[in-house]
Structure 1
Amino acid sequence: MEGYKSFLFFLVSALVLGFTLVIFVLVWVLDYSDGLAWDGGNAEFNWHPVLIITGFIFIEGIAIIVYRLPWTWKCSKLLMKCIHAGLHLTATTLVVVALVAVFEYHNAKHIPNLYSLHSWVGLTVVILFVLQLFVSIIVYLLPITPVSIRAAFMSIHVYGGLLLFGCIMGTALMGLTEKLIFSLRKPAYSSFPPEGIFVNTLGLLIIVFGGLILWIATRPGWKRPPEHVEKDQHPLGSEVDDVSTTDYSKNKSDVELNSEARKRNLTLDEAGQRSTM
Protein backbone atom coordinates (compact mmCIF):
# COMPACT_ATOMS: atom_id res chain seq x y z
CA MET A 1 0.00 0.00 0.00
CA GLU A 2 1.20 3.50 -0.85
CA GLY A 3 1.44 5.78 2.18
CA TYR A 4 0.72 3.03 4.70
CA LYS A 5 1.50 5.26 7.71
CA SER A 6 -0.81 7.96 6.42
CA PHE A 7 -3.53 5.37 5.94
CA LEU A 8 -3.13 4.18 9.54
CA PHE A 9 -3.34 7.77 10.80
CA PHE A 10 -6.59 8.46 8.94
CA LEU A 11 -8.05 5.06 9.82
CA VAL A 12 -7.33 5.38 13.55
CA SER A 13 -8.61 8.97 13.52
CA ALA A 14 -11.84 7.86 11.84
CA LEU A 15 -12.37 5.01 14.31
CA VAL A 16 -11.72 7.22 17.33
CA LEU A 17 -14.08 9.88 15.99
CA GLY A 18 -16.73 7.28 15.17
CA PHE A 19 -16.76 5.93 18.72
CA THR A 20 -16.73 9.52 19.98
CA LEU A 21 -19.89 10.25 17.97
CA VAL A 22 -21.70 7.34 19.60
CA ILE A 23 -20.56 8.44 23.07
CA PHE A 24 -21.61 12.03 22.39
CA VAL A 25 -25.12 11.14 21.25
CA LEU A 26 -25.58 8.83 24.25
CA VAL A 27 -24.44 11.56 26.65
CA TRP A 28 -26.84 13.97 24.95
CA VAL A 29 -29.95 11.79 25.35
CA LEU A 30 -29.03 10.45 28.79
CA ASP A 31 -27.77 13.63 30.48
CA TYR A 32 -29.53 16.46 28.63
CA SER A 33 -32.75 14.69 27.66
CA ASP A 34 -35.09 12.02 29.06
CA GLY A 35 -32.95 8.93 28.43
CA LEU A 36 -34.03 5.96 26.38
CA ALA A 37 -37.30 4.04 26.54
CA TRP A 38 -40.09 2.77 24.30
CA ASP A 39 -43.07 4.59 25.80
CA GLY A 40 -44.23 6.99 23.10
CA GLY A 41 -42.57 9.95 24.82
CA ASN A 42 -39.35 11.88 24.44
CA ALA A 43 -37.33 8.87 25.58
CA GLU A 44 -38.64 6.88 22.60
CA PHE A 45 -37.82 9.71 20.21
CA ASN A 46 -34.25 9.67 21.57
CA TRP A 47 -33.71 6.29 19.92
CA HIS A 48 -33.90 8.12 16.59
CA PRO A 49 -30.65 10.16 16.86
CA VAL A 50 -28.85 7.35 18.70
CA LEU A 51 -29.59 4.73 16.03
CA ILE A 52 -29.09 7.10 13.09
CA ILE A 53 -25.64 8.19 14.27
CA THR A 54 -24.63 4.68 15.31
CA GLY A 55 -25.95 2.88 12.24
CA PHE A 56 -26.28 5.30 9.36
CA ILE A 57 -23.10 7.27 10.10
CA PHE A 58 -20.61 5.18 12.12
CA ILE A 59 -21.35 1.65 10.89
CA GLU A 60 -22.07 2.87 7.36
CA GLY A 61 -18.75 4.72 7.34
CA ILE A 62 -16.92 1.53 8.28
CA ALA A 63 -18.81 -0.36 5.56
CA ILE A 64 -17.57 2.15 2.97
CA ILE A 65 -13.87 1.72 3.82
CA VAL A 66 -13.81 -1.99 4.73
CA TYR A 67 -12.33 -2.88 1.32
CA ARG A 68 -9.44 -0.48 1.98
CA LEU A 69 -8.14 -2.34 5.02
CA PRO A 70 -4.88 -4.00 3.86
CA TRP A 71 -5.25 -6.77 6.45
CA THR A 72 -8.29 -8.03 4.54
CA TRP A 73 -6.58 -8.21 1.14
CA LYS A 74 -5.67 -11.85 1.66
CA CYS A 75 -9.32 -12.69 2.29
CA SER A 76 -11.43 -13.86 -0.62
CA LYS A 77 -13.41 -11.26 -2.52
CA LEU A 78 -16.62 -13.15 -1.76
CA LEU A 79 -15.96 -12.98 2.00
CA MET A 80 -15.33 -9.24 1.80
CA LYS A 81 -18.53 -8.78 -0.20
CA CYS A 82 -20.49 -10.55 2.54
CA ILE A 83 -18.87 -8.40 5.25
CA HIS A 84 -19.55 -5.25 3.20
CA ALA A 85 -23.19 -6.23 2.66
CA GLY A 86 -23.58 -7.33 6.30
CA LEU A 87 -22.48 -3.93 7.58
CA HIS A 88 -24.94 -2.22 5.22
CA LEU A 89 -27.74 -4.53 6.38
CA THR A 90 -26.90 -3.79 10.02
CA ALA A 91 -27.03 -0.06 9.36
CA THR A 92 -30.34 -0.49 7.51
CA THR A 93 -31.87 -2.42 10.42
CA LEU A 94 -30.92 0.29 12.90
CA VAL A 95 -32.30 2.98 10.60
CA VAL A 96 -35.65 1.19 10.25
CA VAL A 97 -35.97 1.00 14.05
CA ALA A 98 -35.04 4.70 14.25
CA LEU A 99 -37.83 5.58 11.79
CA VAL A 100 -40.36 3.50 13.70
CA ALA A 101 -39.40 5.32 16.90
CA VAL A 102 -39.88 8.79 15.44
CA PHE A 103 -43.19 7.93 13.73
CA GLU A 104 -44.60 6.39 16.92
CA TYR A 105 -43.48 9.43 18.90
CA HIS A 106 -45.15 11.81 16.45
CA ASN A 107 -48.37 9.80 16.45
CA ALA A 108 -48.46 9.60 20.26
CA LYS A 109 -47.93 13.35 20.57
CA HIS A 110 -50.26 14.15 17.63
CA ILE A 111 -47.40 15.78 15.70
CA PRO A 112 -47.73 15.81 11.89
CA ASN A 113 -45.38 13.47 10.00
CA LEU A 114 -43.23 14.29 7.00
CA TYR A 115 -43.73 18.04 6.84
CA SER A 116 -40.14 19.26 7.32
CA LEU A 117 -37.23 19.34 4.88
CA HIS A 118 -35.32 17.07 7.26
CA SER A 119 -38.02 14.39 6.99
CA TRP A 120 -38.33 14.73 3.21
CA VAL A 121 -34.61 14.41 2.58
CA GLY A 122 -34.20 11.73 5.24
CA LEU A 123 -36.93 9.47 3.88
CA THR A 124 -35.65 9.94 0.32
CA VAL A 125 -32.13 8.96 1.39
CA VAL A 126 -33.40 5.87 3.23
CA ILE A 127 -35.44 4.72 0.20
CA LEU A 128 -32.51 5.24 -2.19
CA PHE A 129 -30.14 3.53 0.23
CA VAL A 130 -32.36 0.45 0.51
CA LEU A 131 -32.83 0.40 -3.26
CA GLN A 132 -29.08 0.54 -3.88
CA LEU A 133 -28.48 -2.19 -1.30
CA PHE A 134 -31.09 -4.45 -2.89
CA VAL A 135 -29.74 -3.95 -6.42
CA SER A 136 -26.13 -4.39 -5.27
CA ILE A 137 -26.92 -7.71 -3.58
CA ILE A 138 -28.49 -8.96 -6.82
CA VAL A 139 -25.63 -7.71 -8.99
CA TYR A 140 -22.62 -8.64 -6.84
CA LEU A 141 -23.70 -11.55 -4.65
CA LEU A 142 -25.82 -13.64 -7.02
CA PRO A 143 -23.81 -15.83 -9.42
CA ILE A 144 -26.28 -15.32 -12.27
CA THR A 145 -25.21 -11.73 -12.97
CA PRO A 146 -22.84 -11.40 -15.97
CA VAL A 147 -19.43 -9.84 -15.36
CA SER A 148 -20.15 -7.12 -17.93
CA ILE A 149 -23.16 -5.91 -15.92
CA ARG A 150 -21.15 -5.88 -12.71
CA ALA A 151 -18.42 -3.82 -14.34
CA ALA A 152 -20.92 -1.37 -15.84
CA PHE A 153 -22.73 -0.93 -12.52
CA MET A 154 -19.56 -0.48 -10.41
CA SER A 155 -19.08 3.24 -11.05
CA ILE A 156 -22.74 3.89 -10.18
CA HIS A 157 -22.42 1.73 -7.07
CA VAL A 158 -19.36 3.60 -5.80
CA TYR A 159 -20.60 7.09 -6.65
CA GLY A 160 -24.07 6.38 -5.30
CA GLY A 161 -22.70 5.09 -2.01
CA LEU A 162 -20.51 8.15 -1.46
CA LEU A 163 -23.30 10.53 -2.51
CA LEU A 164 -25.79 8.90 -0.14
CA PHE A 165 -23.27 9.00 2.71
CA GLY A 166 -22.84 12.73 2.17
CA CYS A 167 -26.62 13.17 2.13
CA ILE A 168 -26.90 11.17 5.36
CA MET A 169 -24.52 13.54 7.12
CA GLY A 170 -26.37 16.59 5.80
CA THR A 171 -29.71 15.14 6.90
CA ALA A 172 -28.34 14.37 10.36
CA LEU A 173 -27.15 17.97 10.75
CA MET A 174 -30.59 19.25 9.75
CA GLY A 175 -32.18 16.92 12.29
CA LEU A 176 -29.92 18.06 15.12
CA THR A 177 -30.70 21.71 14.40
CA GLU A 178 -34.43 21.05 14.12
CA LYS A 179 -34.48 19.17 17.43
CA LEU A 180 -32.60 21.94 19.25
CA ILE A 181 -34.88 24.68 17.88
CA PHE A 182 -37.99 22.81 19.03
CA SER A 183 -36.71 21.59 22.41
CA LEU A 184 -34.61 24.53 23.66
CA ARG A 185 -37.10 27.19 24.73
CA LYS A 186 -35.99 28.15 28.25
CA PRO A 187 -33.15 28.91 27.82
CA ALA A 188 -33.51 29.48 24.08
CA TYR A 189 -31.17 27.92 21.55
CA SER A 190 -30.00 31.41 20.56
CA SER A 191 -28.71 32.08 24.10
CA PHE A 192 -25.92 29.45 23.77
CA PRO A 193 -27.14 26.99 26.44
CA PRO A 194 -24.82 24.07 27.33
CA GLU A 195 -27.00 21.55 25.48
CA GLY A 196 -26.90 23.64 22.32
CA ILE A 197 -23.12 23.97 22.45
CA PHE A 198 -22.76 20.24 23.12
CA VAL A 199 -24.96 19.22 20.18
CA ASN A 200 -23.31 21.76 17.88
CA THR A 201 -19.99 20.12 18.75
CA LEU A 202 -21.54 16.75 17.89
CA GLY A 203 -22.47 18.15 14.48
CA LEU A 204 -18.93 19.34 13.84
CA LEU A 205 -17.60 15.89 14.76
CA ILE A 206 -20.00 14.32 12.26
CA ILE A 207 -18.56 16.53 9.50
CA VAL A 208 -14.96 15.66 10.41
CA PHE A 209 -15.77 11.93 10.61
CA GLY A 210 -17.46 12.04 7.21
CA GLY A 211 -14.51 13.89 5.71
CA LEU A 212 -12.10 11.23 6.96
CA ILE A 213 -14.23 8.41 5.58
CA LEU A 214 -14.53 10.08 2.17
CA TRP A 215 -10.79 10.77 2.06
CA ILE A 216 -9.94 7.14 2.82
CA ALA A 217 -12.48 5.88 0.31
CA THR A 218 -11.24 8.04 -2.58
CA ARG A 219 -7.44 7.62 -2.40
CA PRO A 220 -6.35 5.52 -5.42
CA GLY A 221 -3.21 4.30 -3.66
CA TRP A 222 -5.28 2.72 -0.88
CA LYS A 223 -7.50 0.68 -3.17
CA ARG A 224 -7.62 -3.11 -2.86
CA PRO A 225 -5.28 -4.46 -5.59
CA PRO A 226 -6.91 -6.80 -8.14
CA GLU A 227 -4.18 -9.45 -8.04
CA HIS A 228 -5.43 -10.65 -4.68
CA VAL A 229 -8.73 -11.78 -6.16
CA GLU A 230 -7.62 -13.49 -9.38
CA LYS A 231 -8.35 -16.99 -8.13
CA ASP A 232 -11.49 -16.21 -6.15
CA GLN A 233 -14.56 -18.19 -7.10
CA HIS A 234 -18.15 -17.03 -6.90
CA PRO A 235 -20.88 -19.35 -5.51
CA LEU A 236 -21.86 -22.25 -7.76
CA GLY A 237 -18.47 -22.10 -9.45
CA SER A 238 -18.85 -18.94 -11.50
CA GLU A 239 -15.90 -16.60 -11.86
CA VAL A 240 -15.53 -13.59 -9.59
CA ASP A 241 -16.40 -10.19 -11.05
CA ASP A 242 -12.97 -8.64 -11.45
CA VAL A 243 -12.67 -6.97 -14.83
CA SER A 244 -8.94 -6.47 -14.61
CA THR A 245 -8.51 -10.14 -13.79
CA THR A 246 -10.65 -11.14 -16.77
CA ASP A 247 -8.67 -8.88 -19.08
CA TYR A 248 -5.40 -10.24 -17.70
CA SER A 249 -6.47 -13.81 -18.31
CA LYS A 250 -7.64 -12.95 -21.81
CA ASN A 251 -4.39 -11.16 -22.65
CA LYS A 252 -2.37 -14.02 -21.27
CA SER A 253 -4.26 -16.49 -23.43
CA ASP A 254 -3.67 -14.34 -26.53
CA VAL A 255 0.06 -14.20 -25.83
CA GLU A 256 0.24 -17.95 -25.38
CA LEU A 257 -1.68 -18.49 -28.64
CA ASN A 258 0.60 -16.10 -30.53
CA SER A 259 3.66 -17.84 -29.10
CA GLU A 260 2.37 -21.24 -30.15
CA ALA A 261 1.59 -19.92 -33.64
CA ARG A 262 5.14 -18.57 -34.01
CA LYS A 263 6.56 -21.89 -32.92
CA ARG A 264 4.45 -23.72 -35.51
CA ASN A 265 5.56 -21.30 -38.24
CA LEU A 266 9.22 -21.80 -37.32
CA THR A 267 8.74 -25.56 -37.41
CA LEU A 268 7.14 -25.36 -40.86
CA ASP A 269 9.97 -23.11 -42.12
CA GLU A 270 12.61 -25.53 -40.88
CA ALA A 271 10.79 -28.43 -42.50
CA GLY A 272 10.57 -26.55 -45.78
CA GLN A 273 14.28 -25.68 -45.73
CA ARG A 274 15.21 -29.33 -45.14
CA SER A 275 13.00 -30.50 -48.00
CA THR A 276 14.74 -28.15 -50.45
CA MET A 277 18.26 -29.20 -49.42
Structure 2
Amino acid sequence: MEQREMKELLQQVAEGNATVDEALLKMKMAPFEEIDIASLDHHRGIRQGASEVIYGAGKTPAQIDKIAHTLWNSGQKTILITRMSQEAAETFEKDIPFTYYEEAKVGLVGEMTAPKQKGYILVATGGTSDIPVAEEAALTAEILGNRVERIYDVGVAGIHRLLAHAEKIMNARVIIAIAGMEGALASVIGGLADCPVIAVPTSVGYGTAFGGVTALLSMLNSCASGVSVVNIDNGFGAGYLANLINNMEADK
Protein backbone atom coordinates (compact mmCIF):
# COMPACT_ATOMS: atom_id res chain seq x y z
CA MET A 1 0.00 0.00 0.00
CA GLU A 2 1.50 3.33 -1.07
CA GLN A 3 1.58 6.35 1.21
CA ARG A 4 -1.06 8.12 -0.88
CA GLU A 5 -3.47 5.18 -0.59
CA MET A 6 -2.90 4.88 3.14
CA LYS A 7 -3.51 8.61 3.59
CA GLU A 8 -6.78 8.37 1.67
CA LEU A 9 -7.85 5.39 3.77
CA LEU A 10 -7.09 7.21 7.03
CA GLN A 11 -9.00 10.23 5.75
CA GLN A 12 -12.04 7.99 5.17
CA VAL A 13 -11.83 6.82 8.77
CA ALA A 14 -11.52 10.40 10.01
CA GLU A 15 -14.60 11.44 8.01
CA GLY A 16 -16.63 8.47 9.20
CA ASN A 17 -16.81 6.85 5.76
CA ALA A 18 -14.90 3.75 6.89
CA THR A 19 -14.58 2.01 10.22
CA VAL A 20 -11.29 1.32 11.95
CA ASP A 21 -11.78 -2.43 11.38
CA GLU A 22 -12.45 -1.89 7.66
CA ALA A 23 -9.29 0.19 7.34
CA LEU A 24 -7.25 -2.39 9.22
CA LEU A 25 -8.50 -5.17 6.93
CA LYS A 26 -7.49 -3.19 3.84
CA MET A 27 -4.03 -2.61 5.29
CA LYS A 28 -3.66 -6.31 6.01
CA MET A 29 -4.55 -7.13 2.41
CA ALA A 30 -2.18 -4.54 0.94
CA PRO A 31 0.03 -5.76 -1.94
CA PHE A 32 3.60 -6.98 -1.70
CA GLU A 33 6.62 -5.58 -3.55
CA GLU A 34 8.21 -7.62 -6.31
CA ILE A 35 11.92 -7.28 -6.92
CA ASP A 36 13.85 -9.42 -9.37
CA ILE A 37 14.82 -12.07 -6.79
CA ALA A 38 11.95 -12.00 -4.27
CA SER A 39 8.41 -10.87 -3.46
CA LEU A 40 8.59 -8.87 -0.26
CA ASP A 41 5.63 -8.77 2.11
CA HIS A 42 5.87 -5.32 3.70
CA HIS A 43 2.57 -5.67 5.58
CA ARG A 44 3.21 -8.98 7.33
CA GLY A 45 3.68 -7.16 10.61
CA ILE A 46 0.15 -5.77 10.36
CA ARG A 47 -1.35 -9.19 9.63
CA GLN A 48 0.75 -11.39 11.90
CA GLY A 49 2.34 -9.10 14.46
CA ALA A 50 5.91 -9.75 13.24
CA SER A 51 7.52 -8.43 10.08
CA GLU A 52 9.04 -10.55 7.32
CA VAL A 53 12.13 -12.58 8.23
CA ILE A 54 14.92 -13.43 5.77
CA TYR A 55 15.94 -17.09 5.59
CA GLY A 56 19.60 -16.89 4.64
CA ALA A 57 20.41 -20.51 3.77
CA GLY A 58 20.50 -21.06 0.02
CA LYS A 59 20.67 -17.34 -0.75
CA THR A 60 23.81 -15.65 -2.01
CA PRO A 61 25.33 -12.84 0.06
CA ALA A 62 24.27 -10.40 -2.67
CA GLN A 63 20.65 -11.61 -2.53
CA ILE A 64 20.52 -11.28 1.27
CA ASP A 65 22.01 -7.81 1.03
CA LYS A 66 19.50 -6.65 -1.57
CA ILE A 67 16.46 -8.05 0.24
CA ALA A 68 17.53 -6.58 3.59
CA HIS A 69 18.22 -3.14 2.12
CA THR A 70 14.89 -3.14 0.29
CA LEU A 71 13.01 -3.99 3.49
CA TRP A 72 14.95 -1.33 5.40
CA ASN A 73 14.34 1.36 2.80
CA SER A 74 10.63 0.48 2.83
CA GLY A 75 10.41 1.26 6.53
CA GLN A 76 11.08 -2.07 8.30
CA LYS A 77 13.48 -1.04 11.04
CA THR A 78 14.07 -4.46 12.65
CA ILE A 79 15.05 -7.21 10.23
CA LEU A 80 15.96 -10.73 11.32
CA ILE A 81 18.16 -12.85 9.06
CA THR A 82 18.40 -16.54 10.01
CA ARG A 83 20.95 -19.14 8.86
CA MET A 84 23.25 -16.38 7.64
CA SER A 85 26.75 -17.49 6.71
CA GLN A 86 29.92 -15.81 7.91
CA GLU A 87 30.67 -14.86 4.29
CA ALA A 88 27.30 -13.13 3.90
CA ALA A 89 27.87 -11.25 7.15
CA GLU A 90 31.34 -10.12 6.15
CA THR A 91 30.22 -8.81 2.74
CA PHE A 92 27.00 -7.19 3.99
CA GLU A 93 26.89 -3.47 3.13
CA LYS A 94 27.26 -1.71 6.48
CA ASP A 95 25.55 1.53 5.40
CA ILE A 96 22.63 0.47 7.62
CA PRO A 97 22.85 -0.78 11.24
CA PHE A 98 23.90 -4.44 11.25
CA THR A 99 24.93 -6.98 13.90
CA TYR A 100 25.99 -10.57 13.32
CA TYR A 101 25.71 -13.33 15.94
CA GLU A 102 28.15 -15.96 14.73
CA GLU A 103 27.18 -18.85 17.00
CA ALA A 104 23.51 -18.63 16.06
CA LYS A 105 24.19 -17.64 12.43
CA VAL A 106 21.72 -14.78 12.95
CA GLY A 107 21.96 -11.32 11.42
CA LEU A 108 20.10 -8.29 12.75
CA VAL A 109 19.47 -5.14 10.77
CA GLY A 110 18.41 -2.30 13.06
CA GLU A 111 17.87 -2.80 16.79
CA MET A 112 16.11 -5.34 18.95
CA THR A 113 12.54 -4.49 19.86
CA ALA A 114 12.09 -3.58 23.53
CA PRO A 115 10.29 -6.29 25.55
CA LYS A 116 6.51 -5.89 25.31
CA GLN A 117 5.55 -8.11 28.26
CA LYS A 118 6.78 -8.56 31.80
CA GLY A 119 6.82 -12.33 31.40
CA TYR A 120 9.91 -14.10 30.10
CA ILE A 121 10.74 -16.95 27.77
CA LEU A 122 13.12 -19.55 29.20
CA VAL A 123 15.49 -21.31 26.80
CA ALA A 124 17.06 -24.52 28.12
CA THR A 125 19.46 -26.97 26.49
CA GLY A 126 20.41 -30.53 27.27
CA GLY A 127 24.05 -29.92 26.40
CA THR A 128 26.57 -27.35 25.23
CA SER A 129 26.40 -28.80 21.71
CA ASP A 130 22.76 -27.64 21.50
CA ILE A 131 23.64 -23.98 22.11
CA PRO A 132 23.76 -22.87 18.43
CA VAL A 133 20.11 -23.92 17.99
CA ALA A 134 19.26 -22.42 21.38
CA GLU A 135 20.83 -19.10 20.47
CA GLU A 136 18.84 -19.00 17.23
CA ALA A 137 15.69 -19.47 19.30
CA ALA A 138 16.69 -17.00 22.01
CA LEU A 139 17.80 -14.27 19.59
CA THR A 140 14.65 -14.71 17.50
CA ALA A 141 12.53 -14.16 20.60
CA GLU A 142 14.63 -11.20 21.76
CA ILE A 143 14.61 -9.50 18.36
CA LEU A 144 10.82 -9.87 18.26
CA GLY A 145 10.55 -8.07 21.61
CA ASN A 146 10.71 -10.58 24.45
CA ARG A 147 12.71 -10.94 27.62
CA VAL A 148 14.68 -14.19 27.45
CA GLU A 149 16.40 -16.18 30.20
CA ARG A 150 18.88 -18.95 29.39
CA ILE A 151 19.89 -22.13 31.24
CA TYR A 152 22.35 -24.22 29.24
CA ASP A 153 23.80 -27.72 29.71
CA VAL A 154 21.12 -28.97 32.11
CA GLY A 155 20.39 -32.34 30.49
CA VAL A 156 19.00 -35.40 32.23
CA ALA A 157 22.43 -37.06 32.53
CA GLY A 158 22.86 -34.76 35.54
CA ILE A 159 19.28 -33.89 36.42
CA HIS A 160 20.28 -32.03 39.61
CA ARG A 161 21.62 -29.27 37.31
CA LEU A 162 18.12 -28.74 35.93
CA LEU A 163 16.41 -28.89 39.33
CA ALA A 164 18.73 -26.15 40.59
CA HIS A 165 16.79 -23.84 38.25
CA ALA A 166 13.33 -24.91 39.41
CA GLU A 167 12.29 -21.35 40.29
CA LYS A 168 13.13 -20.05 36.83
CA ILE A 169 11.26 -22.97 35.25
CA MET A 170 8.15 -22.45 37.36
CA ASN A 171 8.02 -18.68 36.80
CA ALA A 172 8.49 -18.72 33.03
CA ARG A 173 5.66 -17.83 30.70
CA VAL A 174 6.96 -20.08 27.90
CA ILE A 175 9.83 -22.59 27.88
CA ILE A 176 11.85 -23.74 24.89
CA ALA A 177 13.51 -27.10 25.66
CA ILE A 178 16.29 -28.00 23.24
CA ALA A 179 18.02 -31.38 23.19
CA GLY A 180 19.55 -34.01 20.97
CA MET A 181 20.49 -37.61 21.87
CA GLU A 182 17.25 -39.17 23.23
CA GLY A 183 15.51 -35.79 23.71
CA ALA A 184 14.31 -36.45 27.28
CA LEU A 185 14.77 -32.87 28.49
CA ALA A 186 11.41 -31.66 27.16
CA SER A 187 9.44 -34.33 29.03
CA VAL A 188 11.20 -33.59 32.32
CA ILE A 189 10.66 -29.84 31.99
CA GLY A 190 7.06 -30.49 30.94
CA GLY A 191 6.55 -32.31 34.23
CA LEU A 192 7.78 -29.31 36.22
CA ALA A 193 6.25 -26.32 34.41
CA ASP A 194 2.74 -24.87 34.34
CA CYS A 195 3.33 -23.05 31.04
CA PRO A 196 3.58 -24.21 27.40
CA VAL A 197 6.79 -26.07 26.57
CA ILE A 198 8.14 -25.95 23.03
CA ALA A 199 10.45 -28.88 22.35
CA VAL A 200 13.23 -28.58 19.78
CA PRO A 201 15.03 -31.78 18.77
CA THR A 202 18.58 -31.23 17.56
CA SER A 203 20.77 -33.26 15.25
CA VAL A 204 23.28 -33.77 18.07
CA GLY A 205 23.99 -37.41 18.95
CA TYR A 206 25.65 -40.70 18.05
CA GLY A 207 24.65 -43.02 15.20
CA THR A 208 21.24 -44.16 16.43
CA ALA A 209 20.25 -40.55 17.08
CA PHE A 210 19.70 -40.56 13.29
CA GLY A 211 20.46 -36.87 12.88
CA GLY A 212 17.79 -35.82 15.39
CA VAL A 213 15.03 -38.23 14.38
CA THR A 214 15.29 -40.15 17.67
CA ALA A 215 14.91 -36.94 19.70
CA LEU A 216 12.04 -35.83 17.47
CA LEU A 217 10.09 -39.06 17.98
CA SER A 218 10.82 -39.04 21.71
CA MET A 219 9.50 -35.49 22.05
CA LEU A 220 6.42 -36.28 19.95
CA ASN A 221 5.72 -39.18 22.32
CA SER A 222 6.19 -37.14 25.49
CA CYS A 223 3.89 -38.17 28.32
CA ALA A 224 4.07 -34.67 29.81
CA SER A 225 1.06 -32.51 29.02
CA GLY A 226 1.58 -29.13 27.38
CA VAL A 227 4.59 -30.08 25.25
CA SER A 228 4.53 -29.14 21.56
CA VAL A 229 7.31 -29.96 19.08
CA VAL A 230 8.92 -28.13 16.17
CA ASN A 231 11.20 -29.58 13.52
CA ILE A 232 14.79 -30.73 14.00
CA ASP A 233 17.18 -27.82 14.68
CA ASN A 234 14.35 -25.31 14.16
CA GLY A 235 15.36 -22.74 16.74
CA PHE A 236 13.74 -19.95 14.75
CA GLY A 237 10.36 -21.69 14.69
CA ALA A 238 10.48 -22.23 18.44
CA GLY A 239 11.49 -18.63 19.14
CA TYR A 240 8.75 -17.29 16.89
CA LEU A 241 6.07 -19.49 18.46
CA ALA A 242 7.23 -18.57 21.96
CA ASN A 243 6.93 -14.90 20.98
CA LEU A 244 3.30 -15.41 19.95
CA ILE A 245 2.46 -17.17 23.21
CA ASN A 246 4.27 -14.64 25.39
CA ASN A 247 2.44 -11.75 23.77
CA MET A 248 -1.07 -13.12 24.11
CA GLU A 249 -3.37 -10.81 26.08
CA ALA A 250 -3.54 -12.79 29.32
CA ASP A 251 -0.64 -12.08 31.68
CA LYS A 252 0.94 -14.80 33.79
TM class by shorter chain equals: under 0.3
Q: In proportion to residue count, which structure has more strand?
A: 2
Query: How high is the TM-score relative to the length of structure 1?
Result: 0.24
Q: In proportion to residue count, which structure has more helix?
A: 1
Structure number, greater radius of gyration: 1
Query: How high is the TM-score relative to the length of structure 2?
Result: 0.26
